[in-house]
């Protein structure tokens, strides 16, 4: 039953009202008071300083605030409770978020750009939404972002920073800077959202999809920032630790029966690995990389299929499925690029011949060496260990090749492939090393 309002007097409503923005909750409080015929003094807080001074004076974090006499009732919802009526709910919708990330995911699949491509596309789309109404975004962002509260220009600069990070993911240019930027922005976003939602208990719209859409601030926002931070960590780590052979030292972790010297991997068993030197930069460098990496991926797929056939560990079977799916997609993409970019190239894969100082058709031994063919044997107690001992250096060799590609290729498509290989396979290397330590101490 609604409360009698006839005796309610001396009501003051403090609410945000600037030339560019009227607080929607304040507007609802006005409507509620008018609906019940309660006279009130409508006091506008028209500048950021006025708002900050009011909040500090009454030790509140939000507006509007309603007072009856000297008693502070609270905000709109508190007023509705005081009047014993149902408060209007904010109409949140996850549709914009779902639509954006679904579209980005489909574009990633269609273009075979991998996880870095997905992040690049997603962040580009998010940045474009913010830039459509930069002022509205900045006002919404300032309500919860901790950096913007202390340094207001960050709010208007954020979409440009986000776009720069997105282009870094897509182009493969300046991966260390992109990784550090993504990590910093992601971590600050997580902290800001967590404080606003779970500590301050604020019900706000997420500015991630622009300032004019009713996507709720909460776990989705934290997940988005966590993805950015995770990609930043992977990209930074791979940029700092991706091995190069120019320093004359092996950084790959090889099993006991495999050794490595610069530009050559030798197996002490029946197989003698051939040169894996991709040669100097030039017009046909990408062709040499494509031919080498297609074969290298084929070797990884062969080993992964053996895991599905022989291993009983669910962790390895999941990894094997992931390797097959990802590398089959990259093989398909590289085959298409080879046809388009090098229509006159021979069907036989080519490789750099250092003594001859030019590229020439691979020998059967070179093909096997580029695949890094390994006989994993039968499904015995040591099968999983043999797989780990084979796939770890196999992945590390791929990272070396990707590092070389990133330095020498001028094609943005190839730089994206290099970046994706470096980030995804470095993460898998660390996981496999952990499994090997845990399972075979």
Residues 172/183, Cβ–Cβ less than 8 Å: no
- Looking at residue 162, its pLDDT comes to 92
Distance CA 131, CA 210 (A): 8
- Looking at residue 409, its pLDDT comes to 92
Q: Which pLDDT tens digit goes with each residue over 42-55?
A: 999 988 788 889 98
Q: Which pLDDT tens digit goes with each residue over 10-42?
A: 899 999 887 766 777 888 899 999 988 899 999
Per-residue pLDDT band for 8 (boundaries 50, 70, 90) equals confident
Q: Which pLDDT tens digit goes with each residue over 367-400?
A: 888 888 888 988 898 999 999 999 999 999 999 9
Q: Tell whether domain 11-82 is in CATH 3.40.50.300.
A: no
Coil, strand or helix at 351: strand
Residue extents of the structural domains in the chain:
11-82, 95-241, 258-439
- Looking at residue 219, its pLDDT comes to 72
350: left (phi over 0), alpha (psi -120 to 50) or beta: beta
- Looking at residue 269, its pLDDT comes to 34
Question: CATH number of the domain at 258-439, out of 3.90.1280.20, 1.20.1260.10, 3.40.50.80, 3.90.198.10?
Answer: 1.20.1260.10
Distance CA 354, CA 213 (A): 59
Residues 400/247, Cβ–Cβ less than 8 Å: no
Q: Which pLDDT tens digit goes with each residue over 276-288?
A: 678 888 888 999 9
Q: Which pLDDT tens digit goes with each residue over 182-219?
A: 999 999 989 988 888 778 766 666 666 654 556 666 67
Q: Do domains 11-82 and 258-439 have the same CATH topology?
A: no
Per-residue pLDDT band for 2 (boundaries 50, 70, 90) equals low
Say which DSSP state 283 is in.
Answer: T
Determine if the pTM surpasses 0.75. Answer: no
- Mean pLDDT computed over 278-306: 91
């Amino acid at each position: 039953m609604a409360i009698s309002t006839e005796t309610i007097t001396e009501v003051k409503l403090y609410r945000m009202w600037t030339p560019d923005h009227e607080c929607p909750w304040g507007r609802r409080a006005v409507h509620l008071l008018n609906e019940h015929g309660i006279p009130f003094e409508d006091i506008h807080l028209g500048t950021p300083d006025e708002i900050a001074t009011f909040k500090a004076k009454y030790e509140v974090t939000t507006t509007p605030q309603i007072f009856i006499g000297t008693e502070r009732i609270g905000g709109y919802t508190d007023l509705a409770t005081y009047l014993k009526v149902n408060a209007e709910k904010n109409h949140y919708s996850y549709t914009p978020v779902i639509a954006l990330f679904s579209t980005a995911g489909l574009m990633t699949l269609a273009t075979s750009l991998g996880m870095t491509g997905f992040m690049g596309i997603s962040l580009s789309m998010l940045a474009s939404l913010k830039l459509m109404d930069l002022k509205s975004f900045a006002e919404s962002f300032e309500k919860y972002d901790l950096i913007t509260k202390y340094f207001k220009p960050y709010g208007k600069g954020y979409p440009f920073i986000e776009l720069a990070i997105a282009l870094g993911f897509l182009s493969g240019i300046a991966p260390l800077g992109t990784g550090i930027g993504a990590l910093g922005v992601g971590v600050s976003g997580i902290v800001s959202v967590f404080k606003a939602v779970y500590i301050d208990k604020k019900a706000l719209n997420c500015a991630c999809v622009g300032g004019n859409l009713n996507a709720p601030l909460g776990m989705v926002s934290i997940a988005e920032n966590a993805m950015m931070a995770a990609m930043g960590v992977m990209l930074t780590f791979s940029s700092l630790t991706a091995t190069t052979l120019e320093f004359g030292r092996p950084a790959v972790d090889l099993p006991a029966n495999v050794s490595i010297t610069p530009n050559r991997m030798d197996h002490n068993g029946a197989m003698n690995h051939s040169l894996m030197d991709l040669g100097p930069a030039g017009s046909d460098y990408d062709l040499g990389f494509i031919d080498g990496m297609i074969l290298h991926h084929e070797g990884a797929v062969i080993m992964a299929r053996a895991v599905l056939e022989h291993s009983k560990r669910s962790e390895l079977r999941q990894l094997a499925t992931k390797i097959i799916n990802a590398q089959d997609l990259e093989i398909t993409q590289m085959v298409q690029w080879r046809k388009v970019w090098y229509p006159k190239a021979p069907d036989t894969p080519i490789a750099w011949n250092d003594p001859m100082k030019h590229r020439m058709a691979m020998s059967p031994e070179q093909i096997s060496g580029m695949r890094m063919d390994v006989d994993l044997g039968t499904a015995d107690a040591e099968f999983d260990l043999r797989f780990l001992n084979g796939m770890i250096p196999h992945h590390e060799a791929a990272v070396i090749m990707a590092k070389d590609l990133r330095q020498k290729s001028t094609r943005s498509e190839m730089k994206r492939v290099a970046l994706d290989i470096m980030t995804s396979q470095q993460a898998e290397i660390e996981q496999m090393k952990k499994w090997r330590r845990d399972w075979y101490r």
